[in-house]
């Protein structure tokens, strides 16, 4: 963003919580020229800020390393009516995210250095948050030819995925993982066996039978997670399971970690908040992939948050225009928006229920995503002196109601419209610039 800003920013009286350096204390935080100078008390162990420094009062709030969404669909290029890099970036800022990873299933697919560069350049001009493109694993995500990983990495791609689709051919995935391991790129997997999914519309179970909708079994996901863990073990690749949704897949990740493999996973806010029984009245805002799973699956996911098996929260923000979602359930596309509700749901459903701590939440939304995407090497996911001043300020107690119609996203497809939440974002700071705050209700 081109917003002119003072060279200094001082965040006062917040509870600074940075698990990357075991910090949890109430103090001030000084930012100079887009970098963190340090933590402390002004005039004591922190130098006095310049007279034109911008001051943010964070009393009663948590000050954390900027949140990073590992899983976001910005739809540009190709489906700008549903979302753009600018509108998605504004929604991210309003959700407390300072960085997002953009999935490559655009039109054209991001399977080249040219598309990667286009995304980066557009984001630099128009998005208030950092956008890190993820390159496709195969050309056009068709599963036939590997995409040019090194060229995309050179252009700025930070990871690889064919998200929206799995890589069905195991030999292709093995080649992809070997190549990715050599380049140090994480392989993000949309784990789904398309032959098992078939024409499935929602989780296979009693609710699907009652509604007369074709089911998608948990095995559709678990078979691919199992296969790809085996390939990760063979190739040494860092394998990251996107939007993990079943108890069985989680157990395989737990076991892989026990074996010391480089395997990580993310869970979406909708999968830890909702279950298949919530799919009522054929409301297509409850149609997503993977589908909302059973109560037992959700219980296992919550346990995975508690015991550390789940590494990150990824939104799978998937904008679809109203006209696309307002079709019969079987015809409507899969996916919901999620950037602006992720933090509220995480606080409300994970922290206030005692399933998770605030420190763990910051790990799930900032520290671990930075490590998974290699962004820790660029000084993100931490507030150590000298790191990039990407900062999320949130109030764990603020009561608010989500109104999808007020979303910065161009699309409004959310099952959480009208949901009351306890806790949410207050201000988003990217490289020392205040790009959104709750009082102004607008991004700047």
Name the residue nearer to Zn ion (CB basis): 69 or 163: 163
Please tell me the distance from the alpha carbon of residue 439 to that of residue 375, in angstroms, as a whole number. 30
Of 6 and 226, which has the nearer Cβ to Zn ion?
226
- The tokens describing 280, both together, are 């009522």
* Distance between CA atoms of residues 85 and 409, nearest Å: 10
Is there a catalytic annotation at residue 311? no
Minimum CB–partner distance for residue 166 and Zn ion (Å)? 9
Distance CA(318)–CA(409), nearest Å, equals 10
Within 10 angstroms of residue 107's Cβ, the number of other Cβ atoms is 11
Stretch touching Zn ion by CB under 5 A, among 160-168, 205-213, 359-367, 424-432: 160-168
CA-to-CA distance for 441 and 444, rounded, in angstroms?
A: 10
| Residue from the set 190, 298, 360, 371 that interacts with Zn ion by CB under 5 A | 190
Closest separation in Å from C-beta 291 to Zn ion: 12
Mark the segment that binds Zn ion (CB under 5 A) among 186-194, 210-218, 333-341, 424-432. Answer: 186-194
Identify which of residues 163 and 266 has a Cβ nearer to Zn ion in the complex. 163
> Least distance to Zn ion from the beta carbon of 241, Å?
10
Q: Which CB sits closer to Zn ion, 190 or 380?
A: 190
For residue 190, the minimal CB distance to Zn ion (Å) is 4
Task: At 405, list the tokens.
Answer: 């119609």
Q: With CB under 5 A as the contact rule, which of the stretches 21-29, 46-54, 187-195, 267-275 interacts with Zn ion?
A: 187-195
Interface with Zn ion (CB under 5 A), residue from 76, 163, 221, 297? 163
Q: Which is nearer to Zn ion, 192 or 204 (CB)?
A: 192
C-alpha 127 chain-centroid distance = 16
Would you count residue 395 as binding Zn ion (CB under 5 A)?
no
Tell me the angle at which helices 218-235 and 170-183 cross, rounded to the nearest 10 degrees: 50
HEC readout, 104-130:
CCCCCCCCCHHHHHHHHHHHHHHCCCE
Out of 28, 69, 189, 316, pick the active-site residue: 316
| Alpha-carbon span 414 to 427, nearest angstrom | 22
Place of tokens 């004591």: 44
Task: Give the footprint of Zn ion on residues 312-331 (CB under 5 A).
Answer: none
Query: How do the residues of the chain divide into helix, strand and coil, expressed in percent and rounded to 5?
Result: 35, 25, 40
Min. distance of Cβ 172 from Zn ion in angstroms? 18
Catalytic residue ranges? 316
Contacts with Zn ion, residue ranges (CB under 5 A): 163, 190
């Amino acid at each position: 963003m081109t917003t002119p800003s003072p060279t200094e920013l001082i965040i006062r009286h917040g509870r600074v919580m940075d698990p990357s350096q075991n910090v949890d204390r109430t103090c001030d935080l000084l930012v100079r020229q887009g970098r963190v100078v340090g933590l402390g008390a002004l005039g004591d162990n922190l130098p006095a800020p310049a007279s034109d420094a911008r001051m943010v009062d964070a009393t009663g709030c948590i000050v954390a390393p900027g949140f990073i969404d590992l899983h976001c669909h910005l739809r540009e290029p190709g489906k700008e009516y549903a979302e753009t890099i600018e509108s998605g970036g504004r929604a991210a800022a309003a959700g407390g995210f300072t960085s997002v990873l953009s999935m490559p299933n655009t039109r054209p697919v991001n399977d080249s250095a040219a598309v990667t560069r286009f995304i980066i350049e557009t984001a630099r001009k128009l998005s208030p948050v950092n956008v890190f493109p993820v390159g496709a694993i195969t050309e056009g995500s068709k599963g036939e030819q590997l995409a040019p990983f090194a060229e995309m990495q050179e252009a700025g791609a930070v990871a690889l995925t064919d998200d929206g689709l799995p890589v069905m051919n195991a030999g292709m995935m093995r080649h992809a993982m070997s190549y990715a391991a050599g380049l140090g790129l994480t392989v993000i997997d949309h784990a789904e066996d398309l032959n098992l999914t078939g024409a499935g519309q929602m989780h296979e179970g009693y609710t699907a039978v009652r509604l007369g909708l074709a089911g998608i079994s948990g095995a559709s996901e678990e078979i691919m997670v199992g296969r790809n863990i085996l390939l990760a073990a063979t190739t040494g690749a860092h394998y990251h399971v996107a939007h993990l949704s079943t108890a069985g897949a989680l157990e395989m990740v737990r076991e892989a970690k026990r074996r010391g493999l480089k395997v990580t996973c993310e869970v979406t806010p909708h999968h830890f908040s909702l279950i298949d029984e919530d799919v009522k009245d054929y409301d297509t805002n409850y149609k997503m992939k993977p589908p909302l799973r059973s109560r037992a699956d959700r219980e296992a996911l919550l346990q995975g948050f508690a015991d550390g098996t789940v590494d990150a929260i990824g939104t799978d923000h998937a904008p679809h225009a109203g006209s696309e979602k307002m079709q019969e359930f079987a015809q409507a596309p899969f996916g919901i928006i999620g950037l602006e509700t992720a933090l509220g749901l995480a606080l409300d459903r994970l922290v206030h229920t005692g399933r998770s701590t605030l420190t763990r939440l910051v790990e799930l939304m900032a520290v671990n995503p930075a490590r998974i995407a290699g962004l820790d090497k660029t000084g993100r996911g931490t507030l150590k002196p000298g790191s990039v001043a990407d900062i999320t300020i949130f109030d764990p107690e603020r009561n608010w109601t989500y109104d999808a119609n007020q979303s910065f996203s161009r699309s409004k497809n959310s099952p959480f419209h009208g949901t009351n939440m306890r806790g949410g974002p207050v201000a988003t700071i990217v490289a020392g610039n205040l790009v959104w705050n709750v009082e102004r209700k607008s991004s700047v």
